[in-house]
Structure 1
Amino acid sequence: MNSSAAPTSHPLSVAVMGAGSVGCYFGALLARAGHSVTLIGRASHMQAINEHGLRLQTATEDIHVPMATSTSADAVAGADVVLLCVKSTDTEAAAAQIKPYLASHTQVLSLQNGVDNDQRLRQVLGNQPVAAAVVYVATAMAGLGHVRHFGRGELVIAPCPQGEAIAQQFSAAHIPTQVSVSVLAALWQKLIINCVYNALSALTQQPYGWLVAQVGVPAVMQDIANECKAVALADGVQLPANVDEAVAAIARTMPQQLSSTAQDLARAKTTEIDHLNGYVVRRGQALGIATPANRLLQVLVQLRQTASKPEQL
């Protein structure tokens, strides 16, 4: 048997590096399906999960799922798959932490916001198998060791040595997963969605449904999206034809969802704004595309972020 491919009939060994709400949700589903899952995250969450199991709350159930936990990167040792779920601001640091413990065949999947995390991972991890994954899920940590699921839960992963086997195993665990050569376009579509909603939700601390109902907001959202599409086009990215509909659908399908950026600001945590609207601004500058709406949102979130941490002033 080719050692670089995980056998589809055997359970996977999965490590979740940066086990926040996304990693905990997917980890719980994989553990329930019989895979060996280790969550790696903050001590307070890991202790709660050790004591009680991970509390998984969805629209249809509220259960506790026992699984292994760790606070140390060395827990990725022996994993077939590493789900990298750290913030985009921590990509290089997390890669450097796990690098000494990865087996040659271990597939690293980036389940992160932004469009360039897989490239940044490869710069640190060298020849390690790395693939981007587009994540479509609405989750939040509702307490220590407690993840709430609000909607969706699919993954689209870039072609990689174990890609088809992983997709088969994950899909059987109720995580609909497909391998696609169009991951970059999908990542850009998700980036546009994040640029349109995340900062506005963060600055107002309001969910998506409320936002789109306010006077003037839809026009601002269109301005943001148009800038993003212009940058993508100049960057040679072939966006999906239905990108505008995909953006609009978020408010309809997740009307009560607060953005991850809003959750970060509310907790005085560092946001990913520099890898969302900020990425569009940087690529726009490099390509000669003006991005005033995205720049304004980036700066406003940065200001709120700085103001919430007065010790940095």
Structure 2
Amino acid sequence: MRIAVMGAGAVGCYYGGMLARAGHSVVLVGRPRHVEAIRRDGLLLDTQSFQARVPLEASTVVDAVRDARLVLFCVKSTDTESAAAAMRPHLASDALVLTLQNGVDNATRLQAALAQEVAATVVYVATEMAGPGHVKHHGRGELVIAPSTKSAEVAELLIAAGVPTQISDNVTGALWAKLILNCAYNALSAITQLPYGRLSQGEGVQAVMGDAVRECLAVADAAGVTVPGDTWAAVQRIAESMPSQYSSTAQDLARGKRSEIDHLNGYVLRQGEALGIATPVNRVLHTLVKLLEDRAAQPA
């Protein structure tokens, strides 16, 4: 299958690399320094179980998506509408677009901008770009896909490529479950610049995370969302399974970039205000990250 990755950062490079390694025709649409390295040397796919250089196409221009039947949409949540508008003239009419993004409303926003079918996808993977064209895999890798006309076919090819994948009728609940994990860890990891293992052992951290989680669950309940599983147990497992991982928000701040915090704790804050649910811990976490972003944006 012809596959395009729109916004080939760490997540997109990992899944695109796994699919290319399995024999699919994959093009990564990403930043110039990564594209240049991948064109020259292939993608260095550095996983927990193997390391390989995977040859595949890479481009800095959006029209590279034109022949793809499957698009992995991996841009930052802040860029969903602008990336959709850039991609729209080039998409094949029968393409399926999977949203491999943080946050819970990207599929709705993307579907409003595209005529093609969009399927929300929950991503459970710890990755980072360790250098130009070098994706480092720290753990996990599962995907949960919403039902669509092509979801069964796509799940089959992903599983064959070594990516555990399931189709779920409650992707909204699963997206909220992932959002809650992000709300518990991302801002705290960013503010302290600590990985999950060390962070979770800090004085008072468990209590703060517990308060953030309870606020998120209250907002989800008020919104009529059923969050599956034991949320607090899932929060604990993150530190155990990915102790050396820094949150994507921490990585963004370390590089002086704007983060997705508006679509994480900020989203819970806005939904809470709309539904009459107080979210003071999420408000503070959101505010502190925004202040750090503003400080980084000021000239030295």
- TM-score exceeds 0.5: yes
**Post-superposition shift, 1:62?**
2.3
Query: CA RMSD for the aligned pairs?
Result: 0.9
Report the equivalent of 1:19.
8
Q: Which residue of 1 aligns with 2:44?
A: 55
The counterpart of 1:275, out of the listed 240, 263, 270, is: 263
1:67 aligned residue: 56
Which residue number corresponds to residue 215 of structure 1? 203
- What whole-Å deviation, never above 9, does each CA across 1:213-254 have from its counterpart, x for those lacking one? 111110000000000000000000011131121111101111
CA distance in 2, matches of 1:279, 1:110: 17
Query: 1:106 corresponds to which residue?
Result: 95
Matched, 1:301 2:289: yes
Quick one: which of 13, 33, 49 aligns to 2:22?
33
Alpha-carbon displacement from aligned partner over 1:155-196 (angstroms, at most 9, x marks no partner)? 000001100000001100001111110100000000000000
- Segments of 5+ residues of structure 2 without an aligned counterpart are none
Gap regions ≥5 residues in structure 1: 1-11
Which residue of structure 2 lines up, in the alignment, with residue 92 of structure 1?
81
Aligned residues: 300
Deviations 1:14-43 (A, max 9, x none): 000000000000011100101000000001
Return the alpha-carbon distance in structure 1 between the equivalents of residues 78 and 164 of structure 2: 27
What is the distance in 2 between the residues matched to 1:56 and 1:171? 18
1:43 and 2:43 matched: no
Following the alignment from structure 2 to structure 1, what is the Cα–Cα distance between the partners of residues 208 and 117? 40
Between the aligned partners of 2:46 and 2:172, the Cα distance in structure 1 is 31
Q: Secondary structure of the equivalent of 2:162?
A: coil
Deviations 1:102-143 (A, max 9, x none): 111100000000000000001111x31001100010000000
Among candidates 135, 138, 143, match of residue 155 of structure 1:
143
TM-fit CA distance, 1:59: 2.3
TM-score normalised by length of structure 1: 0.95
Identify if the C-alpha distance between structure 1 residues 176 and 241 changes in structure 2 by more than 3 Å, giving closer, same or farther. Answer: closer
Deviations 1:232-277 (A, max 9, x none): 0000001113112111110111111100000000000110000000
The corresponding residue for 2:66 is: 77
Identity over aligned pairs, percent? 59
Q: Which amino acid aligns with 1:45?
A: H
Query: What is the distance in 2 between the residues matched to 1:264 and 1:218?
Result: 24
| SS of the residue 1:192 aligns to | helix
